[in-house]
Every structure is written in C-alpha cells, then in structure tokens.
Amino acid sequence: MFIFLLTLVFGWAGVYRFHKRHYVRAILYLLTFGIFGVGWLVDVICALVDMVDGWRKPASDFVARVAPPPPPATDADKLRQYKRLLDEGAITREEYDRKKGELLDPDDPARRYVACPYCGTRNRRENVHCSACGAKLE
C-alpha cells in the first residue's frame, strides 16, 4: 500500500525503481520525469499488481496459521481414544488396560508374555494357544 501510494505521487522520480533496486532505471526516471510520464504510469500499475499480490499471499499464510495440519496421533491421543471406547462400553477394562500397557511401554518384557489361565505357563503374547497345555489363550 505504502509503495503504491509513493509510486502514485513520486513515481516520476523513479521511487518504484529505487524500491526494486533498478538504480540505473531509477536515475533515468529522475532525469526524464519518469520517461515523460510513461514509465511513471507503468510503475503505478506494477506497484498496484505488487500490492494486490501482497494482499493475496498473507491471506494464504493466514489460513495456514489458523488451520495447521493435524499433528500425528500420539500415544496419549490413542490412549484417550481407548478410554472413550471403554467409557462407551465398546471395549472391556482388560482390553483397555492391555492397550494402555502396550502404549505406555511396548518394549517392557513383562508385557510380551501372558500366563496361561489353566496351567500358569508363561506364553508369548502373540501365541493363540498355550505351548504347555494347548488351551486357548485370551
């Protein structure tokens, strides 16, 4: 806006060309009264285009600031979702506790095993059946 007004009033003196760092042309404007008004008119249009562009760009930046891309779901987010499922009755307390354990410490060796409910043998969590008695593991 400021550059546009400056060009509108003092464009004949090459202010727009000084602003654009076209110093040779700016001096030429200064000496020829903005190339007898023609260069002045061209610069006023250029400054106007710059100004409109300037309005457009901050607008898109503004949108980016207001609506940043959603961050990736963190473990806390997932846990919150499971908690909601638990509250809604979609999953049981045991399922919730297991998910919570996986999320909070997925590498804890104690969580990679599950005790057989029949014989008490420790089985890997991914096993479907007990390695000792063959009972189905929950």
Report the interface residues with Zn ion, using CB under 5 A: 116, 118-119, 121, 130, 132-133, 135
Question: Which of 28, 30, 36 has its CA nearest to residue 10?
Answer: 30
Nearer to Zn ion, 31 or 133 (CB): 133
Give the start-end residues of each E strand in the chain.
Answer: 113-115, 122-124
**Least distance (Å) from Zn ion to the CB of residue 87?**
33
**Least distance (Å) from Zn ion to the CB of residue 98?**
19
**Least distance (Å) from Zn ion to the CB of residue 136?**
10
Nearer to Zn ion, 49 or 119 (CB): 119
Q: How far apart are CA 89 and CA 49, in angstroms?
A: 60
